[in-house]
Amino acid sequence: MVQDLLSRLGMQLPKEFALILPQVQLGIFALGILLTDFLLDRKSRWWNAVLALAGVGFSGKALWNLRNLEDVSAYHSSIVVDPFAVFFGFLFLISAALVILLSVRYLEIEDEHHGEFYALLLLATIGMMFLATGSDLITLFLGLETMALSFYVLTGFLRHRKASNEGALKYVLLGAFSSGILAYGFSLMYGIGGSTNLARIAQAYAERSPGDPLVLISLVTVSAGVFFKIAAVPFHMWAPDVYEGAPTSITASISVASKAASFALLLRIFCTAFWPIRPNWEMVVAGVAVASMTIGNFGAITQSNLKRLLAYSSIGHVGYMLLGLVAGTPDGFKGIAFYLLVYVFMNTGAFAIVILLRREGVIGEDIEDLNGLISRRPVAAILLLIFMLSLAGIPPTAGFIGKYFIFLSLIETGHYVLAVFAALYIAPALYYYFRVVVHAWMREPGGAARPTISVAQGVALAACTLFILVAGLLPDRFINFAGTTLQSQFLQMILR
Amino acid sequence: MTGLHSHRYYTSATMSPGYLGNYAPLLIHILVAMALAGVLLSLSALVGPHRPSREKAQAYECGMRPTGDARHPFDVKFYLVAILFILFDVEAIFFYPWAYVYRNLPRLFGFYEMLLYIGILLVGYIYLLKKGALDWNK
Amino acid sequence: MIPTSHYLVVSLLLFTTGVIGVLTRRNVIIVLMSIELILNAVNINLVAFSQHLASLDGQIFAIFVITDAAAEAAVGLGIIIAFFRNRQTLLADEMDLLRW
| CB nearest B1 (choices: A31, A35, A78) | A78
Contact A191, C49 (CB under 8 A): yes
Q: Do A34 and B127 touch (CB under 8 A)?
A: yes
Distance CA A25, CA A19 (A): 11
| CB nearest C83 (choices: A145, A169, A241) | A169
Distance CA A140, CA A290 (A): 27
Residue A7 clears pLDDT 80, i.e. is over it: no
Distance between B127 CA and the closest CA of chain A, angstroms: 7
Express each pLDDT in A206-234 by its tens digit. 999 878 899 999 999 999 999 999 999 89
Distance CA B94, CA C64 (A): 9
Distance between C16 CA and the closest CA of chain B, angstroms: 26
Degrees to nearest 5, angle at CA A367 with A362 and A370 = 70
Sign of the alpha-carbon dihedral angle for C41, C42, C45, C47: negative
Q: What pLDDT does residue B5 have?
A: 43
Q: Do A138 and B1 touch (CB under 8 A)?
A: yes
Distance between B120 CA and the closest CA of chain A, angstroms: 8
Express each pLDDT in A378-415 by its tens digit. 999 999 999 999 999 998 899 999 999 999 999 999 99
Express each pLDDT in A106-126 by its tens digit. 999 888 888 999 999 999 999
| CB nearest A38 (choices: B2, B3, B130) | B130
Residue in chain B closest to C81 (alpha carbons) equals: B76
Q: Do B15 and C1 touch (CB under 8 A)?
A: yes
Contact A166, C95 (CB under 8 A): yes
B123 reaches A (C-beta below 8 A): yes
Cα Rg of chain B (Å, integer): 28
Residues of chain B contacting residue A77, judged by C-beta atoms under 8 Å apart: 1
| CB nearest C95 (choices: A166, A172, A244) | A166
Distance between B124 CA and the closest CA of chain A, angstroms: 8
Degrees to nearest 5, angle at CA A301 with A300 and A304 = 80
Residue in chain B closest to A139 (alpha carbons) equals: B1
Distance CA C92, CA C68 (A): 23
Residues of chain A contacting residue B3, judged by C-beta atoms under 8 Å apart: 76
What subunits touch chain B, counting only 3 or more CB pairs under 8 A?
A, C
A234: cis peptide before it, omega within 30°?
Answer: yes
Residue B9 clears pLDDT 70, i.e. is over it: no
| CB nearest A35 (choices: B2, B120, B126) | B126
Give the confidence band of B12 by pLDDT, cuts at 50, 70, 90. very low
A73 reaches B (C-beta below 8 A): no
Walk me through the domains of chain B, giving residue ranges and CATH numbers. Answer: 12-131 (1.20.58.1610)
Q: What pLDDT does residue B134 have?
A: 82
Residues of chain C contacting residue A302, judged by C-beta atoms under 8 Å apart: none
Contact A428, A301 (CB under 8 A): yes
Distance CA A157, CA A152 (A): 9
Q: What pLDDT does residue C98 have?
A: 61
Q: What pLDDT does residue A240 have?
A: 94
Q: What pLDDT does residue A449 have?
A: 80
Lowest mean pLDDT among A27-41, A116-130, A200-214, C85-99: C85-99
Higher pLDDT, A447 or A298: A298
Cβ neighbours of residue A490 under 8 Å, at least 6 residues apart?
A80, A82, A84, A135, A198, A199, A268, A271, A272
Question: Could you tell me which of A374, A343, A358, A198 has the C-alpha nearest to residue A269?
Answer: A198
Lowest mean pLDDT among A308-317, A354-363, B49-58: B49-58
Express each pLDDT in A414-460 by its tens digit. 999 999 989 999 999 999 999 999 999 998 887 778 888 999 999 99
Helix H or strand E encompassing A394 = none
Residue A30 clears pLDDT 70, i.e. is over it: yes
DSSP notation for A159-173: TT-HHHHHHHHHHHH
Higher pLDDT, B137 or C79: C79
SS (H, E, C) chain C: CCCHHHHHHHHHHHHHHHHHHHHHCCEHHHHHHHHHHHHHHHHHHHHHHHHHHCCCHHHHHHHHHHHHHHHHHHHHHHHHHHHHHHHCCCEHHHCCCCCC
Q: Model ipTM?
A: 0.94
Residue C30 clears pLDDT 60, i.e. is over it: yes
Distance CA A240, CA A304 (A): 12
**Mean pLDDT for the stretch of residues A98-106:** 95
Q: Do B90 and C1 touch (CB under 8 A)?
A: no
Distance between A184 CA and the closest CA of chain C, angstroms: 5
**How many CA atoms are closer than 13 Å to the CA of A291, on its beta-carbon side?**
13
Question: Could you tell me which of A205, A44, A75 has the C-alpha nearest to residue A139?
Answer: A75
Q: What pLDDT does residue A210 have?
A: 79
Distance between B130 CA and the closest CA of chain A, angstroms: 8
How many C-beta neighbours within 10 Å does residue A486 have? 16
Residue B64 clears pLDDT 90, i.e. is over it: no
C86 reaches B (C-beta below 8 A): no
- The number of C-beta contacts closer than 8 angstroms across A and C is 128
Contact A478, A471 (CB under 8 A): yes
Computed over every residue of chain A, the mean pLDDT equals 92
User: Best interface-test mutation with B: which of C55, C60, C88 has the largest number of B CBs within 10 A?
Assistant: C55
Q: What pLDDT does residue B66 have?
A: 65
Residues of chain B contacting residue C64, judged by C-beta atoms under 8 Å apart: none
| A residues 64..123 contacting C (CB < 8 A) | none
pLDDT more than 90, % of chain A = 81
Walk me through the domains of chain C, giving residue ranges and CATH numbers. Answer: 26-91 (1.10.287.3510)
Q: Helix count (H) and strand count (E) of chain B?
A: 5, 0
Express each pLDDT in C52-89 by its tens digit. 999 989 999 999 999 999 999 999 999 998 888 887 77
How many C-beta neighbours within 10 Å does residue B96 have? 9
